[in-house]
Each structure stands twice: as C-alpha cells, then as structure tokens.
Amino acid sequence: MSHLDPVSPPSGASSRELILGRIRRALADVPRDELPGSVPLDRDYLRVHGTRTPEQTADLLAVHLADYRALVHRCPSGGLPALIATLLAERGARSAVVPDGLPDGWLSAVSGVELVADTLALTARELDAVDSVVTGCAVAVAETGTIVLDGSAGQGRRRITLVPDHHICVVLAPAQVVDSIPEAMERLDPARPLTWISGPSATSDIELDRVEGVHGPRTLEVILVDE
C-alpha cells in the first residue's frame, strides 16, 4: 500500500491511492491468500429456458417483440425488398437514413423516398428531419424480445436508430436469432458500442400508464426474415 498523508486534502491521483488504501484496510477480514477466483460462484442457472426448434424460437421472438408493442412482420427472404418498400410507403416516409453496408437489394423496391447516407457529416439536427431508418441487427433474443445492434455493417452509428421516429429493423432467422441472454452475450463483442432494443421507447412515469415513445423512435417495426 502506498504512503497515505492524512493531512493534505485528497485530489486527483492521490485519491486513487487513498481509495485503494481504504479498500485494502476495509478488507482486512479477507484471507491474504484468497484469490478472486477462489470466491465460490455457481453458474447453475439455465443457459436457455425451455427447448425449442429454431422455428419455435423465431415464433417466440415475434410474440415477445409484439408484447412490448413492436410491430412484427414476417416474410421469406425473397419478399424483403417489397415489404420494406410497403412499410415505408404506409408510413408516408419521405426520407430514410441508410447505414453503410446494408445488403444490396434490400431497398431495391423503394421509390419516392429520399435515401440519406449515414455519414460523419450528418448532424443530429439533420437526422431529426429524417422520417425513417432501415437497419439490420447483430443478434435477437427470443426469451426477452430483444434485438441488439453493434454498429457493424448494415447497422450504422447509434444515433441513426435513435433520432428518427420510425425504425425498420431486419432480423434474419434463424441465423441471427438466439434463445436467451447468455447465448446472446457469447456472440457479442463488448469492444463495440451495443444498443439493446426491446420494443419502442416507452415510459411509465405518469401513474404507471405505459406510453410509447418519449425520446427514441415511437414506432419500431421488426421484419423477421425466414431464410
């Protein structure tokens, strides 16, 4: 333990030593030869709750997404471009932001919608004027009805799925669908900035009445593509 001077007021780097010193004194009861790994930890919780076929897992994802009021659509992979075009048209979207690396062809049927590239020059204010956003995802979790975006190809920067009021997110089943949180954790890289989304933005702060959409997109549409 480093030298502690009780007289001088703590500041900056010295507080680091002060706090670490306090912790070491506070833990005088912990045997000196105890290593972090020697503190018992049973991971006897389940990795998955229940057994499902990949098809049932995709069904459960759809049910749980809808439970929290995401709009869920399903289609075979060939139907994706038409469905995206339909959803944008039904919404009346005049513009949609598109991340780098969105697969060619997803937007091939879209017409009459200005496609805005997600570039560094795109400011939050400009983004606020865009109606919709279309992205893929990294993984989706059936048990909780959650989709996770990690900023890799086809997902873009975090702000593009936040500021526009309408988010269309494409999930490829079964490739991107897992059953549980533990399975999702394994697939994700913590070095990337991650956004976990379970239904649209919501609040229950006023008399516990659930209201969709305070700050994030008020409409979340998930397209589950059965491959």
Partner 1 sequence: MSGTYLGMPAFPEAAAKSTQDTQLRGNLRHATHTIRAKRAVAVAELEDWPQLRAAGAAVKDRTLRHLDHYLEQLETAVTAAGGVVHWAADAAEANRIVTDLVRATGETEVVKVKSMATQEIGLNEALAEAGIHAYETDLAELIVQLGDDLPSHILVPAIHKNRSEIRDIFTERMGDWGRAAPAGLSDEPADLADAARLHLREKFLRAKVAISGANFMVAETGTLVVLESEGNGRMCLTLPETLISVVGIEKTIPTWQDLEIYLQTLPRSSTAERMNPYTSTWTGTTEGDGPQTFHLVLLDNGRTDTLADTVGRQALRCIRCSACLNVCPVYERAGGHAYGSAYPGPIGAILTPQLRGTASALDASLPYASTLCGACYEVCPVAIDIPEVLVHLRERVVEGGAVTLRGTRAVIKPARGHAAERAAMRAARWTLDHPAALRAGQRLAARTRRLHPARLPGPGRAWSATRELPAVPAESFRDWWQRTRGEGKST
Shortest separation between residue 116's beta carbon and partner 1, angstroms: 17
How much is the CA Rg of the chain, to the nearest whole Å? Answer: 23
User: What are the structure tokens assigned to 190, written together?
Assistant: 């913590």
Which residue type sits at 208? L
* Residue 37 CB, nearest approach to partner 1 (Å): 8
* Shortest spacing between CB 109 and partner 1, in angstroms: 29
Q: Find the shortest distance in angstroms from Cβ 31 to partner 1.
A: 10
Q: Please name the amino acid found at residue 100.
A: D
Residue 7 or 111 having the CB closest to partner 1: 7
Q: Min. distance of Cβ 81 from partner 1 in angstroms?
A: 27
* Angle, CA of 50, 52 and 55, to the nearest 5°: 150
Non-local CB neighbours of 1 within 8 Å, separated by 6+ positions: 17, 20, 21, 24
Peptide bond preceding 174 in cis form (omega within 30 of 0)? yes
Closer CB to partner 1, residue 6 or residue 112? 6
Residue (76 or 193) nearer to partner 1, CB: 193
- Between 84 and 130, name the residue whose CB sits nearer to partner 1: 130
Residues 6+ apart with CB under 8 A from 77: 172, 225, 226, 227
Dist. CA 14–CA 28, nearest whole Å: 22
Task: Compare residues 16 and 94 and give the one whose CB is closer to partner 1.
Answer: 16
